[in-house]
A and B are shown apart, each in its own frame.
Chain A
Amino acid sequence: MEIIKTQSLIKDYLLGKVKVRALAGIELSIINGEFVAIMGPSGSGKSTLMHIIGCLDSPSAGEYYLDGDLVSKLPKSALAGIRNRKIGFVFQSFNLLPHLNVLKNVELPLMYSGLSARKRGEKASQILDSVGLSDRLKHKPNELSGGQRQRVAIARAIVNDPSILLADEPTGNLDSGAGGDILEIFNKLHKAGNTVIMVTHDRAVAERADRIIEIRDGMIHNGDLAN
């Protein structure tokens, strides 16, 4: 079953008074449980595509189905709930909240989905245990190494059981050892049945995925299911 499907996805930006086409008709299908890497040079539109897939942005035209629902026509207010329940983000620069401890950072998505404080604590520490950080619950992010921080971010991304895990250059700020660990976690999550979508420009990293989709000039160049 397709967890993600787009049809003629178009995104235009206004740069000053010039209209720039970032996405020029993307036809993308990703099947439930796949591990996919999206590659492309900077300016290719891969970030824009990721923002739309992650429901942070809406397309100018075309359709986007997430988990069978047409989300491209939803108002922005409805997208917050979808981001909360269906999407887990992992960023290159971790994006943990610096003044909250590890446990509180992981609890955040659960807070916004309205879970009680007690249940949040239980679920968050359980997830942190699964990424090997059960001894770091009360630490602040700046007391952790880069690899540990990214593991906290992954825990935060998956704590709400999202439909897709969306990672933007997840190893970009890590040395190869820590990066390897993170990729191994993605691999495990994939093996456990999660859909993982990873944006990267590093071919060695991308090779870890089942399938590589290459974007150029706002179009899929290579790697669509149809090919």
Chain B
Amino acid sequence: MAISLTESLQIGVNDILMRKVRSLITIFGIVLGVMCIMVVLAIIAGMNKSTMAWMQERGGTNKVEIERNWDYDFRGGGYASLTLAELNQVRGQIPEALAVGPVINSWGASLQYKGFSYSGQVLGVLPGHQRMESWYPGKGRFFSDIEVRENSNVIVLGATVAKELFKTEDPLGQSVMLSDQMLTVIGIMQEKIWESPGGGSFGGNALEYMNRQSFVPISTMMNKIEASSLIQSVQILAKSPEDALMLQEKLKLILLHIKKGKAVFRVSSAQETIQQMQQNSKIFSMIFIMIGMISLLVGGIVIMNIMLASIKERTREIGVRLAIGARRTDIFVQFMVQTVLITGLGGVFGIILGYLILDLVSGYLGMPMLAGPQMILVSLLVSVGVGLIFGIAPAVKASNLDPVMALRDE
């Protein structure tokens, strides 16, 4: 037969309206804490999302790459390259890989067409390279396995290469000169675009370097263009991000074995990069969540003290309520509801303030920040939770008052 929650809510709202200024000051810590936590969660969600989007753009999270290890001191001997035989040796030991894509990189190769020349990166690859990078020709086609087998004189141009070398002309079917070989243009890759965060200050398309690449069959590169060329990097596609991590460890051992213990290669995986980024953001977020927690703790203690003081002031009221039939649970619920209302209100203010700040910060950094409904829910739950925890002591104190003593209170 205790009074209903609606009743307690009404009493609570009345009490808060009666002491507006005090209530506002009381909730300050909660506002700060909730705001902190919400902003951090939103920034992390935004960063994770842009990391994932970047990884997708760079060929997905199942990719493992073998490249030159720039930290290795090559005065100790060894070359950061693989022969075809070594590549086959590697391939034979990783049957679980979906695809293996060796790359021969010709830096600063000069492409010539009708007296114009374009200096850029030409890569000798297999047709599987498209899948590895999830990057396909936008016009024309990529070369086939048959053209690789036959050392065909074909080339696929990057979007920027095509634009700068051919201007308004259609490059498809034209011939370009590379070294002493005439190559037929059979395709033009899709343009890669990635507006990096803070584009204003750092400038432009982070993937523009890919638009400046051109591709020839790896066999043509080895046998006709750079006679003694070796494989400098290999891309491997695993079945899943988890497999990619295992494959990464396995490849490190295989390569160390092939290179007789010399760590001339660096083996990296998209998954590992993501984990590192998440690790970094974790430290950052821990600091801010700690600040948020401390604000909430301090805010909670402040509220507890103000509620205790308020109960002292209202002893007589409690006595009157007890005299006319309020149960201890009624009094307990009344003060509990009031505390939770105050902290909940703080939570709402915190969320609003958080939104304003996110709007400001993401506009300034040009970075997406995600404050979804689940984050609002978490913030609200946290603020209500603080009320529930720090409301207990005042509510217990109020409900334990002796009616005779309380009525006698001046």
Q: Which chain A residues have a beta carbon within 8 Å of chain B's beta carbons? A: 51, 54, 56-57, 76-77, 80-81, 83-85, 89, 91, 95-97, 99-100, 108-109, 111-114, 156, 160
Contact = CB atoms under 8 A, between A and B. Distances in A.
B404 A95 contact: no
B3 A56 contact: no
B327 A80 contact: yes
26 contacts: A54-B323, A56-B322, A56-B323, A56-B404, A76-B328, A77-B328, A80-B322, A80-B327, A81-B1, A81-B325, A84-B324, A85-B325, A89-B323, A89-B324, A91-B407, A95-B316, A108-B324, A109-B325, A112-B3, A112-B325, A112-B330, A113-B1, A114-B1, A114-B3, A114-B4, A160-B325
A99 B325 contact: no
Contacts of B326: 80, 84, 112
B14 interface: yes
B331 to A, nearest CB: 10
Contact of B324 (A99, A100, A156): A156
Contacts of A77: 327-328
B320 interface: yes
Interface residues of B, number: 23
B325 A113 contact: yes
Contacts of A85: 325
Q: Which of B1, B4, B14, B325 has the most CB of A within 10 A?
A: B325
A91 B327 CA distance: 20
A37 B242 CA distance: 88
Q: Which of B15, B323, B326 has the most CB of A within 10 A?
A: B323
Given A56-B404, A56-B407, A112-B3, A95 B327 contact: no
A99 B18 contact: yes
Given A99-B14, A108-B321, A80 B404 contact: no
Contacts of A81: 1, 325, 327
Interface string B326-337: 111010000000
Q: Which of A56, A96, A113, A160 has the most CB of B within 10 A?
A: A56
A208 to B, nearest CB: 24
Contacts of B359: none
B188 to A, nearest CB: 76
A56 B403 contact: yes
A20 to B, nearest CB: 15
Nearest to A116: B4
Contacts of A114: 1, 3-4
B317 interface: yes
A80 B328 contact: yes
Contacts of B325: 80-81, 83-85, 109, 112-113, 160
Contact of B323 (A83, A100, A113): A83
A111 B323 CA distance: 13
Contacts of B328: 76-77, 80
Given A51-B404, A56-B323, 9 more contacts: A77-B327, A80-B327, A81-B327, A83-B323, A95-B323, A108-B324, A112-B324, A112-B325, A112-B330
A97 B324 contact: no
B320 A95 contact: yes
B192 to A, nearest CB: 67
A114 to B, nearest CB: 5
Contacts of A83: 322-325
Contacts of B404: 51, 56-57
Nearest 9 interchain pairs by C-beta:
A84-B325, A112-B325, A80-B327, A56-B403, A109-B324, A95-B320, A83-B325, A114-B1, A89-B323
Contacts of B407: 56, 91, 95
A43 B327 CA distance: 29
Contacts of B319: 95
Interface in B375-405: 403-404
B7 interface: yes
A111 B1 contact: no
